[in-house]
Amino acid sequence: MTHEQEGMKRPPVVQERLNKLESLRALGVDPWPVGFVREQRVAGVLAEFAALQESGASVSLAGRLMGLRRMGKATFAELRDGAEKIQLYVQREQVGADTYDVFKLFDIGDIVGVTGRAFTTRTGEPSVEVRSIQLLAKNLQPLPASKEKDGQIFDEFSDKDQRYRQRYVDLLVNPATRTVFEQRSRIVSAIRRHLEGEGYLEVETPVLQPIYGGAAAKPFVTHHNALDMRLYLRIANELYLKRLIVGGFDRVFEFARDFRNEGMDRFHNPEFTQVECYAAYQDYRDMMRLVETLIAGIAVDLHGGTKVLLKGHEVELAPPWRRATMMELLQEATGEHVLELDEPALRALAKRLHVEVEPTDGWSRIVDEIFGALVEPTLIQPTFVCDYPREMSPLARRHRDDPRLVERFEAVVAGKELCNSFTELNDPLDQRQRFEEQNRLIQRGDAEAHPMDEDFIRALETGMPPTAGLGIGVDRLVMLLTGAESIRDVIFFPTMRPLA
């Protein structure tokens, strides 16, 4: 295809910019030069503006043109540098006729470097009187036009699907999007500081694993050519972190990118971020205290207080959070002592309650489905749901008061699970029996049951001290603290269905 043929398929606005590109090159301008010495950031210039204006010192800035108002021999422009912006005043007599002719070929979206002096316009707006201006990167794909009305910004880039697919444009034209991801970074940093302050060591464990484990989920499968072996993308990092506890590291944590081959909705993306931590000589009650103090502290850092508005409800994150057992909550919702029901009776209960379950679902999965349908959405204020049936948690320690249960909690806020914690099972004989029970579920067709892991059992046989573990869904925590409606709003580049 010739350049002319390719150009015929371009939208007119893109073709216009390509024409300007050729004109720039004809004038000897490199549209993508090697570099530019940026001596200041816009934020720094604005912070010291009065002193810079008084001294008449030169400033050197770089950023993206986000507005242009041409008035013959002078132009007002908006220069955006990250989240900050400043007005530029470009005059033909200041930059020279040749440079101004080149500048007339610039567009909104171009990246430029400027030098000049700080001054204030008649309307009182901090500005830069430009002495020199250089094109650093030509924009060939026009940015969506935006307009402001009654203090609200309206733009042509509001389609959610487009915004997820072209996050780079979303970040440029929607300041609120940038704010969410800046807050995400602050949340991650706050978690790291808190755990390190509690004596935890940050570690790294394998993403490619010969045996997936640590959660009930279907994995992604891949193949290692050199070793001619099947590998799995991790669904959790739990079993490797507990190996480190065995190895003598008493407190460890890891921010893990995990992968689960499951459906997608507002709360699920095939790849997501968790932080998991493990502490020797603690139990799940210690982890409850860690969770409520950690999340309340992050809320104060982010919002200045522990109350957040979610789904029309004011949610109080300050400790102590409510504690309730899973069986108590299920009995309130169903009127039944669920722990006393066998699988056929439980399946009949699900049918009566209009909760859909699969023929391959075992007793524990049916309990989970009923809880997820009838109980979890009602838990708006922070609640630790405690003491799960043993069948639901193959890696958790039997409850010290009732062997039918395990010492486990999930924290639920605004109707969604936020984190999961166990007093960890460290009895290798019990662990082997649990894995064998899971294998029977696999044989029944449960694709999310936990496979046997002989090396992990060997690690437990080496001896793991009493240990508590915790996993927090970072994406869901960010959703909670920023008020985001979808997990895709807090992941820079979410997984998307291919365009037809």
Q: Are residues 133 and 199 in the same domain?
A: no
In a domain, 442, yes or no: yes
Q: Are residues 181 and 248 in the same domain?
A: yes
Structure tokens at 326: 């899973």
Rounded-to-integer distance, Cα 325 and Cα 314, Å: 24
CB-CB contact of 495 with 269 (8 Å): yes
> Residue 439 class from Cβ within 10 Å (0-12 exposed, 13-18 middle, 19+ buried)?
middle
Closest residue by Cα to residue 116 from 79, 144, 148: 79
As for how many domains the chain has, the answer is 2
Rounded-to-integer distance, Cα 221 and Cα 209, Å: 10
> Edge-to-edge, what's the strand order for the sheet holding 221-224?
208-209, 229-233, 221-224
Please provide residue 53's backbone torsions phi and psi, each rounded to the nearest 5 degrees: -65, -40
The whole-model pTM stands at 0.90
Closest residue by Cα to residue 174 from 185, 161, 183, 163: 163
Q: How far is CA 66 from the centre of its chain?
A: 27
Q: Are residues 181 and 127 in the same domain?
A: no
DSSP 18-56: HHHHHHHHHTT--SS-S-------HHHHHHTHHHHHHHT
In a domain, 190, yes or no: yes
Rounded-to-integer distance, Cα 54 and Cα 50, Å: 6
Q: Are residues 139 and 191 in the same domain?
A: no
In a domain, 210, yes or no: yes
CB-CB contact of 472 with 275 (8 Å): yes
In a domain, 471, yes or no: yes
Q: Are residues 198 and 285 in the same domain?
A: yes
- Residue 41 sits in which domain range? 3-143
Q: Are residues 198 and 79 in the same domain?
A: no
Give, for all 500 residues of the chain, the pLDDT tens digit.
444 445 457 899 999 999 999 999 999 999 999 989 999 999 999 999 999 999 999 999 999 999 999 998 999 999 999 999 999 999 999 999 999 999 999 999 999 999 999 999 999 999 999 999 999 999 999 998 765 555 454 556 888 999 999 999 999 999 999 999 999 999 999 999 999 999 999 999 999 999 999 988 999 999 999 999 999 999 999 999 999 999 999 999 999 999 999 999 999 999 999 999 999 999 999 999 999 999 999 999 999 999 998 878 899 999 999 999 999 999 999 999 999 999 999 999 999 999 999 998 889 889 999 999 999 999 999 999 999 999 888 889 999 999 999 999 999 999 999 999 999 999 999 999 999 999 998 898 888 889 999 999 999 999 999 999 999 999 999 999 999 999 999 999 999 999 87
CB-CB contact of 427 with 463 (8 Å): no
CATH number, domain containing residue 135: 2.40.50.140
